[in-house]
Amino acid sequence: MDNAYKIKVQNVTKEYDLYKSQSEKLRSFFSLRNSKVPHFWSLMGISLEVKPGETLGLIGVNGSGKSTLSNIISGIIPQTTGVVDVRGDTSIIAIGAGLRGNLTGLENIRLKALMQGLTNPEIDALMDDIVSFADIGDFLYQPVKSYSSGMKSRLGFSIAVHVNPDILIIDEALSVGDDTFYQKCVDKIAEFKDEGKTIIFVSHSLKQIEILCDRVAWIHYGTLKEIGDTASVVKDYRGFTKWFKAQTKKEKKHFQRQMKANQKAFDIDAYQKEVTDERQKAEPDNANVASEVKKDFYGSVISEKMSVGNRILTTAVGILFVLVCLVNVSGHSVGDVIQHPSNLVHPETVLHDANATNTVK
């Protein structure tokens, strides 16, 4: 892979636990055994690079993993394994991404710009431009939760392009606006391209992809099916959608079920071994391949799952905390409660016993 990249994604996977309910999630946390919760691998080892100044399109059927990948690149969610190296500030535009429903449009502009590192005077200087580009009238003073998806997209797009990021990630944001707004966005994206900024553009509209993208990555049920120049990848993808549409309803369902089953059955250890073997073949004299691959897989990842040891410790601290609270509420001393644990749940009995003792005396 080339060293002069703006974004590098290497062996990136994303695993989700498919809990049926919150209580199942809670039970699994307190369980010391490895629970049998089904797993789903939204990404099963994606590697790609985006060069500075390039516009890379992400295409693929619903649920293929485009948003998961763009959210990982923007740092909104962590990957399960792999390296994600982003050289610059990113700003993501998805429908309503990062907008707080209870805040007004105006408050959201300030909040998002502050989060992007702008100072209040800088935001004041930009405010008129952001407001006039979004063009949502008096809705600016209303909570964002009352906005239509088109309005959210207008506001999100306007903020994102005005905070001047190095890297712009646009996730389906152009699909909900009207034609005038769409044209304004396309012009703005062209301006960004002219300024040499790097863009990731996620869309179901192959026309938009053809107009805007230099290269395209086709994400297919968690894998990178193809990456290359726009014309050839779009042609192949059109071929696939044509094939898919020609299938019967039953065949379509079977195909989709098969793909999802693959994503549930994905074996991360087997994938790590596959990567290790491949790299070992390319570097036969390197004795450290296995440890290097392990570092690439897990070195830059903060584990979302707790080890059994950590779970025991967290549970013990939790129980201790609840006990201290109960002792406090019961009005007894810790010594009393240790000698008569039932005091904790039946404080009145204790008082009664104490009175009885006094009477005997």
Ligand X SMILES: Nc1ncnc2c1ncn2[C@@H]1O[C@H](COP(=O)(O)OP(=O)(O)OP(=O)(O)O)[C@@H](O)[C@H]1O
Residues near ligand X, by CB under 6 A: 16, 40, 42, 60, 62-68
CB of residue 240 vs ligand X: minimum separation in angstroms? 14
Judged by CB, which is closer to ligand X: 213, or 350?
213
Supply φ then ψ for residue 86, to 5 degrees.
-115, 120
Q: What is the 3-state secondary structure (H, E, C) of 282-301?
A: HCCCCCCHHHHHHHHHHCCC
Judged by CB, which is closer to ligand X: 72, or 159?
72
CB of residue 282 vs ligand X: minimum separation in angstroms? 31
Question: Which helix (DSSP H) or strand (DSSP E) does residue 274 occupy?
Answer: helix 268-282
Supply φ then ψ for residue 84, to 5 degrees.
-130, 110
Judged by CB, which is closer to ligand X: 66, or 152?
66
CB of residue 57 vs ligand X: minimum separation in angstroms? 13
- The HSE-up count of residue 267 (CA atoms within 13 Å, CB side) is 4
Strands 223-229 and 215-220: antiparallel
Report the C-alpha gap between 40 and 113 in whole angstroms.
Answer: 35
The residues, any chain, with a CB within 8 Å of residue 82's CB and separated by 6 or more, are 9, 10, 11, 12, 13, 45, 46, 47, 296, 297, 301
CB of residue 221 vs ligand X: minimum separation in angstroms? 8
Report the C-alpha gap between 327 and 344 in whole angstroms.
Answer: 6
Judged by CB, which is closer to ligand X: 11, or 223?
223
CB of residue 42 vs ligand X: minimum separation in angstroms? 3
The answer to whether residues 179 and 150 touch, using CB atoms and an 8 Å cutoff, is no
Sign of CA dihedral 175, 177, 178, 182: negative
Report the C-alpha gap between 91 and 144 in whole angstroms.
Answer: 19
CB of residue 300 vs ligand X: minimum separation in angstroms? 21
Judged by CB, which is closer to ligand X: 12, or 289?
12
Judged by CB, which is closer to ligand X: 64, or 90?
64
Judged by CB, which is closer to ligand X: 15, or 54?
15
CB of residue 40 vs ligand X: minimum separation in angstroms? 5
Report the C-alpha gap between 248 and 255 in whole angstroms.
Answer: 11
CB atoms within 10 A of CB 125: 11
CB of residue 203 vs ligand X: minimum separation in angstroms? 9
Judged by CB, which is closer to ligand X: 65, or 82?
65
